[in-house]
Amino acid sequence: MKDEELIAPCGMNCSICNGYLREKNTCPGCREIHPNEPVARSRCIIKNCEELKKNNWKFCFKCSKLPCRRMKSLDKRYRTKYHMSMLENQEYIKKHGIKKFLEKEKKKWTCPKCGGIVTCHGGVCMDCGYVKFKN
């Protein structure tokens, strides 16, 4: 996996996202400032949260309002569809730090067949097509 700059404030690992991994119209990740950023990213309520900006926080776990309504909604969607939890990611980063989180993510999302990256949004290795899970 990539560095900590690919971990969004919500706890999403952008390096396992279809938008980041696809060949055309790739997303540079949630933290990258880009003039042509995807609409979903520019309008992200969590990324644009006033508490994050006001306090210059890198992650939502610093906020006393966590889990807020927005994070609960995002977490529910990702638990249901994509076999991951933003709230669990936040808790892990808070407790163990970003380096340990990146190590854990690498183990979880590396293809056992070829060593490529399995995307969370499809459950498929982007290199060899190995299916880890189906959405």
Residue 53 lies in a domain: yes
Provide the domain limits for residue 99.
4-107
Residue 121 lies in a domain: no
Residue 30 lies in a domain: yes
Residue 135 lies in a domain: no
Q: Is the pTM of this model over 0.75?
A: yes
pLDDT band at 27 (very low <50, low <70, confident <90, very high): confident
Average per-residue pLDDT for the chain? 87
* Count of the separate structural domains present in the chain: 1
Rounded percentage of the chain residues whose pLDDT exceeds 90: 55
Distance CA 125, CA 55 (A): 37
3-class DSSP state for residue 46? coil
Q: Is 91 exposed, middle or buried (0-12, 13-18, 19+ CB in 10 A)?
A: middle
Predicted local confidence at residue 1, as pLDDT: 44
Residue 125 lies in a domain: no
69 neighbors 29 (Cβ within 8 angstroms): no
Q: Which residues have CB under 8 Å from 38's CB, separation 6+?
A: 19, 25, 27
Vertex 10 angle, CA 79 and 12, to 5°: 60
Predicted local confidence at residue 11, as pLDDT: 93
* Residue 97 vs residue 25, higher pLDDT: 97
Rounded percentage of the chain residues whose pLDDT exceeds 70: 89
Residue 126 lies in a domain: no
> Does pLDDT of 96 surpass 50?
yes
Residue 94 lies in a domain: yes
Residue 120 lies in a domain: no
Comparing CA positions, the residue from 2, 39, 32, 19 lying closest to residue 126 is 19
